[in-house]
Structure 1
Amino acid sequence: MNYMDENIIGLSIVLPIYNDAAAVSRFLPELFTFTSRQKKTCEIILVDDGSTDHLTATYEQLKQQLPTNTALRLVQFSRNFGKEAALTAGLEQSQGELVIMMDADGQHPVSVLEQMLTLMHTSNVDVVAAVQTSREHEGLLIRTLKNGFYHFMQDTHRFELTPNAGDFRLMKRRVVQALLQLPERQRFMKGLYAWVGFSTVYIPFQASPRQMGKSKFNYLSLFELALIGITSFSQRPLRWISRMGMIISLLALVYGLYIVADTLFFGKDLAGWPTLAAGIMFSAGIQLVCLGVIGEYIGRIYEEVKQRPLYLVDKVWDSREQK
């Protein structure tokens, strides 16, 4: 069935962008070639996460190359709110029966998108997610840290995070609506995908080399994202604090009994100052670590109760309204 009514959108493609105008200008023509072959009307949603480059001019140029069955929309934030907010904005703006999220730098191959669509149409699933088969372009340290993070986050009693499965996924409309029902401001999208559930199949893919530019994620931003994920989806650190407190208390009791027995039965004098100083420093260090962990959870609560919007939109450009 061939839908050419622009009010009926078959596929929405969401691209979060931050200072990647040059990469977008190279990647979108390839995406236009793909959408031009689709039977249903498509829309491409560019979410500008506070970019400082010439993305608006790039949008105007690309608009002239649009296939007849494709709409192009540019959503500009008032400032940089982060990729998780940009993804959420794209989902909220989308109107398609199916929604795909991709990186705008060309690392998510269009050929894989075609495979995902075929699998979606030929099987009874709600989500088709792509999993990177190799991360050799990343250093050993970052790969080790990521593997440790995924291992720590697993909660097989409720949901499970699939390692190396990111935002490159195709979803039916009901999955998108379920994600948009989740109200949290501190969003960890990989956790939210797992939490909502629905039938999901995974396909392997190899990320293409970046067409230009460099990744906006560094160790600090990845660490912050990991903290959001842990405090949003895991109570293990809090449980570990309780267990650590019980273990330290038990060790202190055993050591105290040893000191009493050693003094009463053997008459040994206890070297007071070194032992006292070491014990105080150890105890203070443990307390500060525990307070820091608890503070992270309280900080997330503080951000949530303020009920600030996840992002603010400065302007929306739509090729359908500008015709």
Structure 2
Amino acid sequence: MNQEEQRKTLSLVVPVHNEEDTIHLFYNAIEEIKPKVNATIDFHFIDDGSTDKTLSILRDLAEKDEHVHYVSFSRNFGKEAGLYAGLQQSKGDYVAVMDVDLQDPPELLPEMLNEVESGEYDAVGTRRADRKGEAKIRSWFSSQFYKWMNKVSQTHLVDGARDYRVMTRQMVDAILSMTENQRFSKGIFTWVGFKTKYIPFENRERVAGNTSWSFWSLAKYAVEGIVSFSTMPLTIVTFLGLITFGASILAGIFIVIRALISNTSVAGWPSMVTIMLFIGGIQMLSLGIIGRYIAAIFMETKKRPIYIAKEEK
């Protein structure tokens, strides 16, 4: 058995969507650090229904390098589906998840792998130590999400944590056993347990191209995370209902007593309309929150596949 066969394999899972400008840059960056990585690296690119030349570039890379593999979806299913597909396709002893835009520093990969190989940790992840270069409003909302998510959920999320991490095969298999349709990987990575260490790094800008993550898509992603890992919103709705019900009983008693004592009729239109709008608003908010959970149940009961592969190599 030669040295190449004795070396363990590290599978790189890389979801891509319209990333024709970054794929070669990412591939070359990994090639540069390969001598420092104590494992054979396999690439698993997941094309999430790209409409540019992404798939063509992946085909060319796969032809030139036997360690490059790809799966192309029949349409855009989202990054979460891409991560799940990549973990399914990975065969390595260790698995790393990375973004193709090089916001995840490749030079950390050798250190991360060494930490996992030592056996002390089951996974080594990364987190941003700062948010330099990011819009202040977006940074504020992001920090608030982590803050409140950790308050309403038993699954603790590390502030600034990235998907970028190296995991053991055992941990990956545990993640794959969770076949839910509504996926929130940051929560899943934490929920499955296993001992994890986080390495901080300074925030980096994309090397090329534009992000497909708009503020609205990030907001929807945050809602997915809350619905997937917390029932606290439903508890809040219950308490709001109890508070408004109690307040209405007290108000009714007050009105009856006042009528018996003074026997006068007061129009009170402004206060009545205000109360009606207040209660109506709480009802609509409550129905919206309950509806979001019902929608998640609805999607799960359909048992639809998380993704559909059109082409793979």
**One-letter code of the match for 2:50?**
S
Query: Which of 237, 245, 251 is matched with 1:249 structurally?
Result: 245
- Percentage of pairs with the same residue: 35
Q: Is the 8 A contact 1:112 1:205 kept in 2?
A: no
- When normalised by structure 1's length, the TM-score is 0.90
Match of 2:302 in 1: 306
1:22 aligned to 2:18? no
Cα RMSD of the aligned pairs, angstroms, is 2.2
The one-letter code sitting in structure 2 at the alignment partner of 1:316 is E
CA contact (8 A) 2:10 2:96 kept: yes
User: Is 2:186 aligned against 1:190?
Assistant: yes
What is the aligned partner in structure 1 of residue 276 from structure 2? 280
Equivalent residues in 2 for 1:38-187 (5 A)?
Answer: 38-63=37-62, 66=65, 71-122=67-118, 124-154=120-150, 158-187=154-183
Amino acid at match of 2:296: R
2:152–2:232 contact (8 Å) kept in structure 1? no
Letter in 2 for 1:308: R
Q: What aligned pairs does 1:27-38 form with structure 2 within 5 A after superposition?
A: 27-38=26-37
What amino acid sits opposite 2:34 in the alignment? T
Contact 1:131–1:165 (CA<8 Å) still a contact in 2?
A: yes
Structure 1 residues 279 and 40, CA gap change in structure 2 (3 angstroms): closer
SS of the residue corresponding to residue 124 of structure 1 reads coil
Task: State the secondary structure of the residue aligned to 1:161.
Answer: coil
Change in CA separation of 1:256 and 1:30 when aligned onto 2, cut-off 3 Å: same
Partner of 1:5: 5
Cα offsets for 1:199-251 (capped at 9, x unmatched): 01111112332111111111111111111111111111100011001111111
Cα deviation, residue 30, structure 1: 1.5
Cα distance per residue 1:65-99 (max 9 Å; x no partner):
64xxx710011111100000000000000001110
C-alpha deviation, 1:178, in angstroms: 0.2
| Contact 1:14 1:99 survives alignment (8 Å) | yes
Structure 1: stretches of 5+ with no match in the other structure: 318-323
